[in-house]
Amino acid sequence: MKNRKFVLLFALLLSLGMLLAACGGGDSGEGSTDSEAASDNEGNESGEEASTDFSAGMVTDVGGVDDKSFNQSAWEGLKAWGEEHSLEKGKGFDYAQSNSDSDYLPNLNTLVREEYNLVFGIGYKLEDAIKDVAEQYPDTNFAIVDSVVEGDNIASITFADHEGSFLAGVAAAKKTKTNKVGFVGGTDSDLINKFESGFRAGVKTVNPDIEIDVQYAGAFDAPDDGKLIASNMYSNEIDVIYHSSGATGNGVFAQAKDIKNNEPDREIWVIGVDRDQYAEGEIGDHNVTLTSMIKRVDNSVQEVSNQAMNGDFPGGEALEFGVEDEGVGLADTNEEAYTEEISGAVDEWKQKIIDGEVEVPQTHDELDDYLDSL
């Protein structure tokens, strides 16, 4: 009998305890939430659950994640997306470094096996690898930057590089005092031809008499070659070089700074690419970066990541970001070099592009027709 009373009393106390817990008896919050839920919400002031169940990764081109250019801009965008959702590197977002073309396919496969929901291929050179892997894994979303690859689970992110490069050509034409400018490309490809064609069109539109030297290094990860090309150009009285060559362009900056260090009074300039490369041109009290043709790769990566996370992944679509939506444009960080006169001219031609008064050429053939019309 005593045992029976004890069991009934124990059951009553247990039921009362469960009822109090269900009613939220711990007003202080200590011990009243599940530890996993607390972990998910850490750093999220809105109280909304952080999206730790969605992850995004990227595979770099050979220039590397710290190329101070294209790959770095993409990584900055992915990091910004991760920070936006209280994620950490390796726990929600990450990258795989490619040291050669042969790394593209295994790096993509690695991120898929690690169950990343969205995988970016940074650069047109990953076209074939993205296509192959996307076909094998139809349930994973992929995005390629600077190219168009067909596939229902592939988003293609492109930029009006020719439009931004046209504005870079306007700036170069307004800045040169020798009437000689240069263009250094990475690989001689359709993509980099867009940069070259737009730049040459912009220069010649301002002043048809300016000479333009065009050279390709053959790689995006060859700063020594970039330095040698720049040395030859600057030796031939070229005073402004626009590079579209990834890490190869680091050599262009290095050569310009070497010359400026030895000849402080010489006016010599570099136009950067993909991201604001003002910091790359710093040398003492001087800076050899005239401006940079910025491609908002960072914004596009962040935007597509959010779309995918929210269930609105633009699979099968080709997205293009141009001057009209600030997808490409020029940096004005170096206020001393990038004068109001140059800025005013750039803004004038930018508006003409937006209004459709100027159709910027994208290929060599289109460039020839454009120059014939001047």
pLDDT tens by residue, 203-249: 999 999 999 999 999 999 999 999 999 999 999 999 999 999 999 99
Judged against a pLDDT cut of 50, whether residue 34 lies above it is answered with no
Judged against a pLDDT cut of 60, whether residue 39 lies above it is answered with no
In Å, how far are 57, 71, 76, 232, 312 from 301, measured between CA atoms? Answer: 10, 11, 9, 37, 14
| pLDDT greater at residue 221 or residue 33 | 221
pLDDT of residue 67: 87
Using an 8 Å Cβ cutoff, are 229 and 215 in contact? yes
The number of residues in the chain equals: 374
pLDDT tens by residue, 141-150: 999 999 999 9
Using DSSP's 3-state secondary structure scheme, residue 169 falls into helix
281 Cβ neighbours under 8 A, 6+ residues apart:
253, 256, 257, 270, 272, 287, 288, 289, 334
Report d(CA 100, CA 80) in Å as an integer.
27
pLDDT tens by residue, 79-122: 999 999 999 999 999 999 999 999 999 999 999 999 999 999 99
Using an 8 Å Cβ cutoff, are 112 and 138 in contact? no
pLDDT tens by residue, 288-317: 999 999 999 999 999 999 999 999 999 999
Domains of the chain are: 56-159+299-308+314-321 (3.40.50.2300), 161-295+339-373 (3.40.50.2300)
Average pLDDT over the chain, rounded to an integer = 89
